[in-house]
Structures are given as structure tokens and as C-alpha cells.
Amino acid sequence: MAEKFDAIVKRSLTDPEGFWGDIARGIEWDRKWDTVLDRSAAPLYRWFSGGQLNTCYNAVDRHVAEGRADQLAIIYDSPMTGRIERFTYRQLRDLVARFAGALTNEGVVKGDRVIIYMPMIPEAAIAMLACARIGAVHSVVFGGFAANELALRIDDAAPKIVVSASCGLEPGRVVAYKPLLDGALALARHKPDRCIVVQREQELAALVPGRDIAWDEAMDKATPQACVPLAATDPLYILYTSGTTGEPKGVVRDNGGHAVALRWTMEAVYGAKPGDVYWAASDIGWVVGHSYIVYAPLLNGNTTILYEGKPVGTPDAGAFWRVISDHKVKILFTAPTAFRAIKRDDHEGKLVKDYDLSSLQALFLAGERSDPDTLEWAERHLKVPVIDHWWQTETGWSICANCMGLEKLPVKHGSPSKPVPGWDIRVLDEQGRETRAGEIGALVAKLPLPPGTLPTLWKADQRYRDAYLAEFPGYYKTADAGFIDEDGYVFVMARTDDIINTAGHRLSTGAMEEVLASHPDVAECAVIGVADELKGQVPLGFLVLNAGVNRQYADISNEAVQLVRDRIGPVASFKTATVVARLPKTRSGKILRGTMQRIADSEPYKMPATIDDPSILDEITAALRSAGYAR
């Protein structure tokens, strides 16, 4: 692209209608929009009002019509089952059209909701696209979520149909989904008409007569359905994210802005050309899975990888390298926690040398703050650009990134680079005033948000205003804290509730974690603020060590404490770093710092619905007690 990055950013902010109107020509429209940016109900903005399109057509049928029918659309790779399946765009179109017919047979029409509660299998992506095909609003719930959490989402979305599977697979165990689904339906006030269940051979589910139907039977009875024209402002999906009240927030994504923005990001942000193999190693239950396993790669005509496995243990820390080598992956996108796990188990990177990674051109990391030590490890062993980028469930795509398809900027470790075109990012203090360069504060985005972001919450416009717009009028509150340096690079240091106040000093736990992660024996770490009668709060560190480290834990802890004192200073009051076997995380890899803090302060806490392994909290509690906390 001829324009340089800064010029592109400037145009996107001074002329958003022209900028996004030009990009929207990359989408096939049934009817062109009346208005690119509809400001009539500000601060509830809408994009491409009056336009009509179908997201499934643009993601699947369009490529068949334009000559990509025999190109691979999806590669399903499951080390859990030892199966690899490949689907061309033609095959995908036919399967999606038929499952759309299965939904139609059950009375699903435009605007109805469909909950998808499934593992990482091809039928999950097919179900999502089938909903988009007929205008049903899908809400994917991470497979294996607890029954009560699934029930909350059923009650909020009020689906006509639930699509599920008999089981999911974890290393060493089968997770039965159907009993969880049955339990959720017993708890929920809303009762769906039907459940369509994929029967997996690892565990067959008992189907309830009159309510449940097997996927294969539903497909056999179905007639393929054509794509339905939808308003650009019609909802495509609802994705629930945890709310501070304990009630999930249903993030809404529209059809028009979403298709426009996500197709553009594949080339602009990731440098992916149509036909390239792209792999987002995530799960369809999370926003990354929606945006970059299913929709964006297919909208751009890429081949996308659907991976049912782990970064380590399926079978070892070379799992990712095997997938890249086997399928000639050009771009990998995953979470920093995945690379920390790989680095922990294969600190010397020996397994990298066993595979041909010549196809790989870039690694993108997001989901948690990427510490420089992990980035440097990946750069050293993969020998490709490693790009940290920042985004959220609510935004749907990256807020800040080093845009590989526009102009590659110099890398600053610890920063996700500069705001992507369309984003106007500021740092505000507690009084809502902009801070000086380098000063930490609340990271906010000036309204209007670009297309593809959340226009509101499901059935909750006022809750959307209260949660995101009220604290800083005219801005979207990211709830992340950080600073912008003199070169315009954004540094995301922590969630705003992870900024601790120690004797009047505002300190970033993320900055301390960055220091701890640089210790050669530390694989990953977390820092929380715990209550202190004298100083208000003091930081407490947790260290997970690399595999094979056999030094005295006390020596490592003392060295870690000294590192923080040397690099941040005594003002941090950092005096304790406890070695633990593992950290409590969500299934998407985010460390549950808030839960750890409540345990340390002896406060009641609710077991997080997304926790990967609840038994870890017992280990953390024991470690905290030995350190003098969690009384």
C-alpha cells in the first residue's frame, strides 16, 4: 500500500466515512448503505446503515463463485483424536447450507437465537456459519462451561435451539457435555425447543426423546438453504463476557461493520493474502475464535486451522511446530500464555529444530500482556517477527498492533505498538484529564469506535452506557491501564484494577511482572496487590519455574525480589516472591489475579466459571498461608 502508516491513521480519524467507505468495497453487498457512519443516536453509533449483505455469503459462497471452490477453507487438526480433515470452500458451502436447512426445519428464522455449546470440531464452525446464513443470531458458549453459567446465558439469549456435542476432549480425559447441558436446561427459566447434538465416538450421549436430535439425523432430513439478505446493523452474534456484577454481559456484533473491518484486518494487520494458511490457536468459545478462526480468515479467502489440542502435552512442547510444518502455516496467532508453557517445557527450544518452519512469516500474540522475555524467546527460536497486539472481546479486533500489511514499525518490547487505523487512543487520569507522555493512567478510545466493535450489549443499552461510556464521557473505557510514550507507542501495563496504591504511589503490577519474567529460571509469573495496614497495599509475586530447575527456591525468590528493587526501586515495596507449581487461569489462559487477591486478603470469592482447574486455588491458598496471608 502506497500510503505510509501515519498518513493512513490520520485519514481514518479525520475522514472515517471516506476511509471505511473505501474499505467496504471489499465486501459483496446486496444493497449499498445509505450512511457509512450513522451518528443519529450517539453515543450509540451504527455503521453502514441502510446497507444489506450476508456474512456467510461473503465468507463462503463468494469464494466459490469467484473461483476458489477447490481451495481449502478449513483444516481440522486434532491430536486428541489423531484425525485431520480438510474442507474446500465448495464442501464447506454445501455443509453450511445443509445445516442451515436443519435449523430451518426446526423453525429457526431470522432474528432467532441459537446457542452453540461445542468443542473444537468442524461442526462448531459450520453451525456458526449456518446461523449467519439464515440471519439467526448465534451465541457460542465455551464447551464444558458449568451448567449454572450456561443456564444464565440461555436465559439471557432465549435461544430457540441449542447445538451441542456429546463430549469434549482434554489430555487424559473425556469431558461429557450432555449432562452439563441437561443440567443447564433444568436450571434455566427459558426452555429451547430443540437440542441438536453431535455424537462423538469417544462418548455417546443419551438423547431426550422429543427434544434432542442427533446432528447426522438432522442433516439427513435437511434441504440446503440460500443466504438471507440482512441489514448491516442486524446482529450477527452475541458473545458473553463476565460482568462485574456476576451477570454475564452479552457483547453484540453486527453484520456490516464486522465483515468490513475483519476482512480488512487480515491483510492490513496480519499481512495475510487470500490463499495463505492462517492459524489462530484459540477456541471458538472466545472472541479470538469468532474473529480469527472462523470469520476473518474466511472473509479474506484464507485457509484457517481448527486445532483441537494444547500447546504442550498433545503430545509435547513441539505440538505447535508440528502443525505449522504439516500445514505450511504462514501466520500464527496465539496467547502469550501458550508460549510461556512451551518455553517452560522446552526452555532451550530444542524441539523447534525438529520441524520445517520455513512457511512461518510472523507470530502474533494477544490475550494477556506479552512480557519482553517471552517475546525475545520466540524471536530467538522462530526467527520471524513477533508482534504483540492489544484487543478485547468488546472490540472484536486489534486496538493497537504493528500492522504488517501497511508499514512495519520498529518493535518496542513491552508495547503492542501504535493504535491501528480507526482507533484514537488517549490516556486519562482519575479526573479525566489527558496525561503527559510516559505517565500511567486509564487507556480510553475516543468515540466513535471503528466498525466491527460492539455497538451495544444484548438487550441492555443502558448497561452498555454505564459499563463503558459513563466514566469518561466521549470515550470508551477499556478498563486497561498504561501509558503512551513520546513516540506514540502504547504500553498496556495492567487492568485498571491491577494498579495498586502503595504508600501513595500508583504502581503497575504488569511492570513488576515484566521484571520477574526476565529472571532466567522463571517461566511465568503473576503479581497481585494485597492489603497492608501501613501502606494500603503491597505487591506479592508468584513464580512458576522452568522445567528442570533444581536450585533452592529461597535463592530464586531472593534474586527475584532484588531484581524488582534494582529496576523499579524500593518504592515498589516488593519483598515476597513465592514459588508455585502453576497459576490459576481461565481456559483461555488469562491469570485469575483478582481471585488470587481476594484469597490473599481473606475475602469471599466466587469460583470463576472459566477456571481451567479449580484445584489450583487450593494450592494458591496454601502458598499464601505459608507466606502469611489468607488467614
The model carries a pTM of: 0.86
| 253 pLDDT more than 80 | yes
- Of 397, 245, 414, the closest CA to residue 336 belongs to 414
User: What are the structural domains of the chain?
Assistant: 5-309+389-482 (3.40.50.12780), 503-626 (3.30.300.30)
| 453 pLDDT more than 50 | yes
Q: Nearest-5° angle of CA 503, CA 525, CA 269?
A: 105
Task: Report d(CA 28, CA 299) in Å as an integer.
Answer: 10
C-alpha distances (whole Å) from 55 to each of 25, 110, 136, 488, 557 are 14, 13, 12, 35, 52
CA count, 13 A, side-chain hemisphere, 196? 29
Residues 6+ apart with CB under 8 A from 190: 154, 155, 158, 159
Percent of the chain with pLDDT over 90: 79
Task: Report d(CA 624, CA 602) in Å as an integer.
Answer: 10
Judged on CB neighbours under 10 Å (0-12, 13-18, 19+), 77 is buried
Nine cell digits for residue 1: 500500500
Reported as a single tens digit per residue, the pLDDT across 278-291 is 999 999 999 999 99
pLDDT, averaged across the chain: 93
Reported as a single tens digit per residue, the pLDDT across 358-405 is 999 999 999 877 888 889 999 999 999 999 999 999 999 999 999 999
Question: If you ran DSSP here, which 8-state letter would residue 521 be given?
Answer: T
Q: What is the mean pLDDT of residues 506-525?
A: 87
Nine cell digits for residue 368: 494477556
Read off the pLDDT band of 244 (50, 70, 90). very low
Reported as a single tens digit per residue, the pLDDT across 272-319 is 999 999 999 999 999 999 999 999 999 999 999 999 999 999 999 999
Reported as a single tens digit per residue, the pLDDT across 92-112 is 999 999 999 999 999 999 999
| 143 pLDDT more than 60 | yes
| 462 pLDDT more than 90 | yes
pLDDT at site 560: 94
- DSSP string across 436-489: PTT--EEEEEESSPPTTS-S-BTT-HHHHIIIIISSSTTEEEEEEEEEE-TTS-
- Of 226, 118, 272, the closest CA to residue 181 belongs to 118
The separation between CA 583 and the C-alpha centre of its own chain, rounded to angstroms, equals: 19
Residues 6+ apart with CB under 8 A from 599: 605, 617, 620, 621, 624, 629, 630
In the beta sheet, which residues pair with residue 85?
76
Q: What is the mean pLDDT of residues 102-130?
A: 98
CA count, 13 A, side-chain hemisphere, 105? 19
